[in-house]
Amino acid sequence: MLFQLKKSRDEILEMCRSNVARARKYLTNVEFSPMDATRSDPQFIHQIVEAAIEAGATTVNIPDTVGYSTPAEFGRLIQSILEKVPGIHKAVISVHCHNDLGLAVANSLEALRLGARQVEGTINGIGERAGNASLEEIIMAIKTRHEAFNLTTTVDTTQIYPTSRLVSELTGFPVQPNKAIVGANAFRHESGIHQDGVLKAPITYEIMNPRDVGLPSSSLVMGKLSGRHAFKERLAELGYSLNEESFNRTFAAFKALADKKKDVADKDIESLVAQELRTTSEVYHLEQVQVACGDQSVPTATVKLRGPKGEILADAALGTGPVDAVYKAINRVVGVPNKLIEFTVSSVTEGIDAIGEVLIRIESDGVVYTGRGSSTDIVVASGRAYMNALNRLIAARNKGS
């Protein structure tokens, strides 16, 4: 109020009343949110919530905008609103917690325990600064600890894992391995004692069934001898449904990968599907990459692209390294100015034969575009990631024009 809006409490109250009343003229469900509520005077929060409800708000959202509160403090604020705001029964209490101190989920759950009935959060906890409350963690906490909250949701929890992977793919933000619920290690047991217990009875060390969040627990091993039917079944278990053309391409990529490594993990299959989905809406497609490099030679790359009309375009370039040479060769063909601002390489699975995944971000005209690519050859993965980002840039420009 003092530094940003430069308005008094009375002026803020009037803004609240007039804007809520105006919104109510157009629809029946109006949510009001007093920004930075957890660092504000509780009495003024009570006053402005009361004013919002009187003006027609049906949902009152209490945000911890900068992730400052602790569960005990946040709980007391929710309780005080329930006890001291006249007419609070006319509105649903919502909460919106940020994770700057790592307490977004804990604060949200404490608010639910004390009477809040709506949570604003995100899949994988993505969001401003350190992120928002992770919806998957809140949902599974309610499901797993029903006796602690005595609440239910209507969420189909088996869609959590596929949704998490979709969000990661679309945003370009990888899920950390030790992320609760959806991380690669969330249901992985490395300790011999733990493995022994889980084999005897999963309840010894697993408080949730992996299938409840959409993780397949089948012991089916995929490899070079696996057929189309087995591969399609595995895709279904992982939550993927591809049309015939996409399935055929993905199956061909799977067989090619299976020739290079003995066992193909679920993460490998997910990476193949993601690569297929990235290529279905391409303007330019990377057909071939060839590089020559070494500590006594100048890195050189030759690329071959398929253009918008199906034409084959090729060029070559020198670079400071093989990836730099590939990107310069692609730029010579595509001719779209941009600046590479981020380049990250990670391994999809363990081992020397693992698929490598490259995440890049490029900037053009002040807009950032994300690209991802994967392959057992990291230079090829780098080229695919760059093409993915360039295609998004080109698509955005075409849409704008």
Please, what CATH class does the domain formed by 281-400 belong to?
alpha beta
Q: Which DSSP symbol is given to 102?
A: S
Q: Which helix (H) or strand (E) holds 332?
A: helix 322-334
- pLDDT grade, residue 143 (50/70/90)? very high
Single-letter residue type at 4: Q
CATH for 9-171 is 3.20.20.70
> What digits encode the pLDDT tens for the residues 38-53?
999 999 999 999 999 9
Asked if residue 137 has pLDDT above 80, the reply is: yes
Tokens for 302?
């030759």
Q: How far apart are alpha carbons 314 and 306 in whole angstroms?
A: 9
Q: How far apart are alpha carbons 389 and 381 in whole angstroms?
A: 12
Number of H helices, E strands in the chain: 13, 12
> What digits encode the pLDDT tens for the residues 179-213?
999 987 887 765 667 767 766 787 887 888 888 99
Report field, pTM of the whole predicted structure over 0.85: no
| Domain parsing of the chain, residue ranges | 9-171, 218-276, 281-400
User: Burial letters for 2-37: b for 16+ Cβ neighbours within 10 Å, e otherwise?
Assistant: eeeeeeeeeebbeebbeebeebeeeeeebbbbbeeb
More confidently predicted of 128 and 274:
128
When mean pLDDT is compared across 67-76, 114-123, 179-188, the lowest value belongs to: 179-188
